[in-house]
Amino acid sequence: MNKSFACYLLGNILFGVSQWLIILLIIKLGTSIELGVYTYGIAVIAPLILFMSFGFNTLIVTDNYLEKQTMVMLRCYCLVVTLLFYSAIVAFFTNLTHTSFLLLIVVAVSKLAEAALDINFAYLIKLQKYGEIGLYKISMTCIQLILLIICYVYFHSLTMAVFLYSVIILIMFIRLNIKHLFRAISWSVSLKLLKLGLPLSITLALSSLNTNIPKYILESVSTIENVGIFSSLLVIYSAGNTLFFSIYNYFLPKVVEKKSDTSYLWKVLLTILGLLFTTQLILILVGTNNLSVILQTLFTSSYVHLQKEFMNVIVGSIFVYASILFDLFINAYQKYIYNTFIQLLSVGLVAITSIVLIPYFKIYGATLAFLIFGITVSITKLIISIMIIQRGNI
């Protein structure tokens, strides 16, 4: 592992861990309402951002003929539309106070700012300049945590912290792309790109719904506080997600380059399966008898009774991590439509299990729905990956 990728990996790990630290700080310094609103805001904006992303990050890495100016401006237009949709949804379908509504808006803006910056990261990945992304991620982590601590300690305001973070990230985006902003682009080319990326876009949005549908049902049949607790448990999944997407982004250009080398692809696949088996075995041997200690360490003593729920999230997470790496084979051959069908299947199962289980089992039912999502996407992507390697294409 070279120093550049080590920095990239460290930056993404720290950024992922910071999401857990943010939740922990809200638990310690804020209120259960703030925790619920913050996590619910992310649950609503995440699938919208992913749907309006049109898979540009993947297209940039796998296609050699995309102009940066076009991609930057398209991302800006898409994010503006996303914010308008989000604002309409939270205005018409939530009954929150003025303060909570304002928090929902700034949470969305912060995630939109990060999504804008992702375009620059995609081009850096294409050039294999991983170290630069790592430094940006480390900076974003430090800025986010410092602002949160200062604003909570001195002003008792989560909204202020998130707002200031959003402003800083937007300034970073403008500074990096100033020569590409407010420039004319070809709309015929743009429409072709949107059409090409639509299957990826649908797939990404559906993938997000797999974790967010249980939150929507929880908010509907339970309380916003339970949404916060469930989201807190899922932060462990999100932190690991960041790590495995880092590994995916590192290997995708290499797999694209060597996709005609069947022996190399089998080696990568067997390595993924070996890691999946080993991780599950370690989890069974170590985690089963220490869940109460782990929960109290990661969160607070009030979470100790959620051991079964936490185990569902951990096991489901490991399956999802494997599925992320299986995407190396599917996306290297640009077979995005298969992922769309996989996500449609898993979203359907998650929706059904959420509707059936959550009204009776609340948070435990939500974690069961997440577990079903993980197992479904992992097994189906494994089958398709094997077919792709065996045939060279399908």
pLDDT in tens, 258-299: 888 888 889 989 988 888 888 777 877 776 678 888 888 888
Is 361 exposed, middle or buried, given 0-12, 13-18 or 19+ CB atoms closer than 10 A?
middle
How confident is the model over 383-389, as a mean pLDDT? 91
Q: Does residue 247 surpass a pLDDT of 90?
A: no
What pLDDT does 300 receive?
80
**Per-residue model confidence (pLDDT) at position 203:** 80
Residue 247 structural domain = 3-391
pLDDT band at 224 (very low <50, low <70, confident <90, very high): confident
How many folded domains does the chain comprise?
A: 1
pLDDT of 367 higher than 60: yes
Contact criterion met (CB below 8 Å) for 222 and 299: no
Q: Tell me the C-alpha distance between 306 and 123, whole Å.
A: 42
Mean pLDDT of 235-264: 82
- Would you state the pLDDT for residue 277? 81
Q: What is the pTM of this model?
A: 0.79
Report the pLDDT averaged over residues 76-86: 94
Given pLDDT bands bounded at 50, 70 and 90, which one contains residue 206? Answer: confident
The pLDDT value recorded for residue 141 is: 94
List pLDDT tens digits, range 4-29. 888 888 898 888 888 888 988 998 88
Distances in whole angstroms, Cα of residue 204 to Cα of each of 11, 26, 52, 249? 23, 28, 10, 15
Residue that wins the pLDDT comparison between 209 and 250: 209
**What does the alpha-carbon distance between residue 74 and residue 53 come to, in Å, rounded to a whole number?**
9
Tens digit of pLDDT for each residue in 119-168? Answer: 999 888 888 888 999 999 999 999 999 999 999 889 989 999 999 999 99
% of the chain beyond a pLDDT of 70: 97
What pLDDT score does 332 carry?
84
3-class secondary-structure state, position 52: coil
Highest average pLDDT, of 54-63, 78-87, 174-183, 335-344, comes from 78-87
283 vs 319: CA distance, rounded Å: 13
Count of Cβ atoms closer than 10 Å to residue 327 Cβ: 23
Residue 199: pLDDT band with limits 50, 70, 90: confident
**Average pLDDT score, the chain:** 87
Predicted confidence band at 384 (pLDDT cuts at 50, 70, 90)? very high
Please name the amino acid found at residue 303: Y
Give tens-digit pLDDT for 294-327.
Answer: 888 888 888 889 999 999 998 999 999 999 989 9
User: Is there a contact between 73 and 54 (Cβ–Cβ < 8 Å)?
Assistant: no
